[in-house]
Amino acid sequence: MNRIQTVIGEHPIEILCDSPETKAVCETLFSFRQSIRVMPELTVTVIRGIERPFTSYDVTVSKRRTGTYYERADFTIYVDSLYKEAFVEVHSELALKHAMMTLYSGFIVETGWGLLLHSSCVLEKDAAHLFTGQSGAGKSTAAMLSAPRALLSDEASILKMTESGVVIYDSPFRSEVDCTVWEGSYPLASVNVLHQSLMNQRIAMKQSEAFLTLIDKVFYWSRDERDVKQVIQLLQKLVKKTDIHHLYFKKDPTFWEMMNG
Amino acid sequence: MKRYIQAHEQESVNFEQEHIVLDAQQFTATTLNEVGYLCWDQLKEARSIRELTDVITKQYHVPDAIVIADVTAFLRKMMESGLIRDAGE
């Protein structure tokens, strides 16, 4: 079988592809970390076969006794009730990428481990700084301007909520595939909600405002009451344990002077 | 005496001096200050304007007339938002 063994976050995951071509696409799309562990926490079977192309980003989630179904025009996911085994059927590379992000996001929320957040993330002196905001706010720009600092994500950041704080893991879900993967986890020092501006300014946000700002940045689709409660609790932990700021930045690297100050 | 009650089960998230009520049915988020949250919390059971006013004046030592006006306005807004409903007499 065409198999990929990897670790996403701290979860060993096995991906079984229906063909060498699908495996090659997986390896191109995702910056996977190698895993030598034998027992995966989640096994994902990937099949290319859906005929319908992409029409909308909306995903319908149905919870049944045996498991959960995620459905979009161009992909379907079935994962069992324990989130041990998943079957992903996709139309295209885009569908495959989004399906894997949707599945992993559901997995980490279901287990109460953490969240997948629309953001880029940069390392500065072994501490992680997240950049988020509305579409077009500058997440990718901020990441690019942060070079040569290490990039943990440029699109979707992996956050683990711990008792002592939030830590970030390298994310395989990238818009630009980067061959550099970063092992381990890094403490989250700040979350920065981006605004492009003529001058640099960084303003601390109230926790309530931060919560409302970040709630639509979470990759999550289920409307199930229990799931929504779980996301709310995880997001509340993030907001309470992390400094969150509005970051008004000129399109140059000088905003880092405020980040380090 | 007219009474009001939370319309359905909702989640609340508490931060510093603000509270957010999340309505999963309507997909809305409503921010409440300390006093608003105190009223909201009381409305887990059917309460009248008088009963809510008594709770607030006891806690904050504010003149009755002011509190009644504020509570009335608060309940009207919460009704318009679909977060509370008429619980009958």
A1-24 pLDDT per residue, tens: 699 999 999 999 999 999 999 999
The whole-model pTM stands at 0.90
Q: Given this model, what pLDDT does residue A180 score?
A: 74
Q: Is the ipTM beyond the 0.85 threshold?
A: no
- Quick: pLDDT tens for B6-30: 998 888 999 988 999 988 778 788 9
What letter would DSSP give residue A165? Answer: -
Mutation target to probe the A interface, by most A beta carbons within 10 A, among B12, B18, B20, B33 is B20
Backbone dihedral region of A165: left (phi > 0), alpha (psi from -120 to 50 degrees) or beta?
left
pLDDT attached to residue A261: 60
Minimal Cβ distance to A208: which of B11, B15, B24: B15
User: Does the bond joining B63 to the residue before it have cis omega, within 30 degrees of 0?
Assistant: no
State CA B6 to chain mean position distance. Answer: 8
Pairwise CA distance, residues A120 & A60, whole Å: 26
Q: Which of B15, B18, B24 sits opposite A225 (nearest CB)?
A: B24
Sign of the Cα torsion A249, A250, A256, A258 reads: negative
Distance from CA of A224 to the nearest CA of B (A): 9
pLDDT per residue as tens digits for the range A23-36: 998 988 887 777 77
pLDDT at B27: 79
Residues in chain A within 8 Å Cβ distance of B24: 223, 225, 228
Encode chain A (261 residues) as per-residue pLDDT tens digits.
699 999 999 999 999 999 999 999 898 888 777 777 678 999 999 999 888 899 998 899 999 999 999 999 999 999 999 999 999 999 999 999 999 999 999 999 999 999 999 999 999 998 999 999 988 888 888 988 998 999 999 999 999 999 999 999 999 998 876 667 788 899 999 999 999 999 999 999 999 999 999 999 999 888 888 888 899 999 999 999 999 999 999 989 999 998 876
Chain A residue with minimal CA distance to B17? Answer: A208
Which DSSP letter does residue A205 get?
A: P
DSSP A42-87: EEEEEEE--------S--EEEE-SSEEEEEETTEEEEEETTSSEEE
b or e along A13-46 (b: 16 or more beta carbons within 10 Å of the residue's beta carbon)? bbbbbeeeebbebbeebbbbbebeeeebbbbbbb
Q: Is A69 exposed, middle or buried (0-12, 13-18, 19+ CB in 10 A)?
A: middle
The tokens describing B5, both together, are 């009650």
